[in-house]
Structure 1
């Protein structure tokens, strides 16, 4: 076997080492395998959002690559990781937008399948405070299959260290990807967005769950408003078998909940322009850090900087920062 190919056993060791809180780096390296959604993002910007039934004039409009899966793959690639993406795109006028956007970020799209349907669409509205609301229409994303996921794992699992997934694809497929990743010894990160109830059997297979305060509230039934309530919600995930929970609190930082401890990570203060994809920047950089052998706390700190920078720019994928930009920002703090 070539020296640069890791076995399932060595990946299991990496899985344990990468998530240790000791601050010691894991000696193993691998790619980030992202299973998820891809969309064309249609975004409008206006001073405020319209009331129901109201027509309101906006200030600007963008059409760019988006989707939580694609955004996170782009973020992982821009962070410096070897990123691979598994998903479906339509055979329509948005196909080139998707494929070129992923390729330009250095993402391997061997397992991005073109299907006879429209590319997924996200309609995003952003107000002057940078807050947004989103309607996501899956379309081609609904064509992702267990067989496609299995083929991707056959090709990539041996050289991947982390599997990152979300809930914009059919949730049964998210659970299938989690099971496959766990069987192959990959570190499993779940961004449970949009929030959806999952089978209890899936929680023990997740190494790190990364919900924001809204998703944590919906999944646990615990209203998350601050670090104390975030810890309570984090314990809910751990009680169901998740190894660690990382609750993000928008501009108020994030809280890591582990079996025997918690740790709060301070937010970075920036001028907010558009919060779209900030969570994707965070998740992609987090996965990249762990895949490259960083300890969990270092990976979280770098991910926090990436998420902060993402809100200073408009759009989804265009707002995802490059590694040099993130590292310079961290140095300047």
Structure 2
């Protein structure tokens, strides 16, 4: 049998324009406050993860949609400049996806999503572009910012073709039990873990418990992230580990989780790092990202991550 030469990653998910307002503190219900400035950044969980994987050295194909607006053209151009292939992208009628983000003085954010073209991605779109995935990619990376039927179609097609499935069910949702056994790597934060297995981790012990429970539910590998409190994983072979976070002064946490996920996928799938090493690589990428503003704009490149790791050797 010929060796499988597919080395790329296909990210099937959302592409947004992030409209970021800096605020001193988040408004209370019914309160009007003055913003401290507005910026526009390319975003969307899918696109963020695609850019993070590409900047970490992976060959990446993006499958999704933008609208027939100026934002759509800007978003496609930005992906291409980062080396992300966009031949499997659709251009839909109407506007591109947008995220309205408020970031306070502590770097914490709140987000309102307007799906736009992301909400128009269909299972038929996935099927249409699946030959591109099969030709180039060894893994697909999914989130929860496009309609679930499109995501489910990708999961089923990948399982049938022997393509690895990474799922980050964000925003948090309950993943159908029937799909969990088709997922090779499930990556969740605290709220996402709670939505799926009923355990909201808050420290190493509860994160280990949640990861083990997720594996018992059917996934092959589960990674639970807790931001500045670190991350842990468990797998069906009984292996597990906890990886502490790097301590930094956060400026903007937007896209930090996406940076971790994309960098991890690149490190594990295309560089062959063991899971704990790939998680530490991803933790470094995320730590660098939160010291900067924006989602994709803040994502570091592979050389910078390597230098960071060397400077923070334990």
What TM-score do you get using the length of structure 2 for normalisation?
Answer: 0.95
CA distance in 1, matches of 2:239, 2:124: 40
Once the two structures are TM-superposed, the CA of residue 236 in structure 1 deviates from its matched residue by 2.4
- For 2:6 and 2:260, how far apart are their aligned partners in 1? 20
1:261, CA displacement in angstroms?
3.3
Where does residue 269 of structure 1 map in the other structure? Answer: 247
Q: How many residues align?
A: 310
User: How far is 1:265 from its partner?
Assistant: 0.3
- Name the CA distance, whole Å, in 2 between partners of 1:275 and 1:116: 32
Match of residue 100 from structure 1? 77
Alignment pair present for 1:309 and 2:293: no
Deviation (angstroms), 1:276: 0.4
Match status 1:69 vs 2:49: no
TM superposition shift of 1:304: 0.9
Q: 1:249 to 1:81 in 2, by over 3 A?
A: same
Superposed counterparts of 1:1-333, under 5 Å: 10=3, 30-259=7-236, 260-292=238-270, 293-333=272-312
Q: Residue 85 of structure 1 aligns to a residue in which SS?
A: strand
Match of 1:17 in 2: none
* Distance across 2 between alignment mates of 1:150 and 1:294: 31
CA RMSD for the aligned pairs? 1.5
Q: Secondary structure at the match of 2:241?
A: strand
Residue 237 of structure 1 aligns to a residue in which SS? helix
SS in 2 for 1:106: coil
Residue deviations 1:92-136, cap 9 Å, x none? 121122111111111000011101111011011111111111111
After alignment, is 92-101 or 305-314 more displaced?
A: 92-101
Q: Residue 29 of structure 1: CA displacement? A: 6.2
Structure-2 separation of matches of 1:42 and 1:197: 28
- Tell me the alpha carbon deviations over residues 144-164 of structure 1, each in whole angstroms, 9 at most, x when there is no partner: 122221232212223211210
Q: How far apart in 2 are the matches of 1:134 and 1:75? A: 20
Output the CA distance in 1 between the equivalents of 2:138 and 2:182: 15
Find the aligned partners of 2:308 and 2:234 in 1 and give their Cα distance: 26
Cα distance change, pair 258–156 in 1 and its aligned pair in 2 (3 A):
closer
Higher RCO by CA contacts (8 Å cutoff, separation 6 or greater): 1
Aligned mates of 1:282, 1:180 — CA distance in 2: 25
SS at match of 1:205: coil
Unaligned runs of 5+ in 1: 1-5, 12-27
Residue deviations 1:62-116, cap 9 Å, x none? 1111100011111111111101000010001211221111111110000111011
Q: Is the Cα contact below 8 Å between 1:65 and 1:316 reproduced in 2?
A: yes
User: Alpha-carbon deviation of 1:299?
Assistant: 1.6
- Would the aligned equivalents of 1:162 and 1:290 in 2 still touch at CA under 8 Å? no
CA distance in 2 between counterparts of 1:60 and 1:77 reads 30
More off after superposition, 208-217 vs 221-230: 221-230
Normalised TM-score (structure 1): 0.89
Distance in 2 of aligned mates of 1:263 and 1:325 = 25
Q: 1:20 matched to which residue of 2?
A: none
The alpha carbon displacement at 1:54 in A equals: 1.5
Which whole-Å CA distance do the structure 1 matches of 2:133 and 2:216 have between them?
31
Structure 1 contact 64–97 (Cα < 8 Å) conserved: no
Deviating more after overlay: 168-177 vs 114-123: 168-177
- Hey, what's the Cα distance between the residues in 1 that align with 2:7 and 2:77? 24
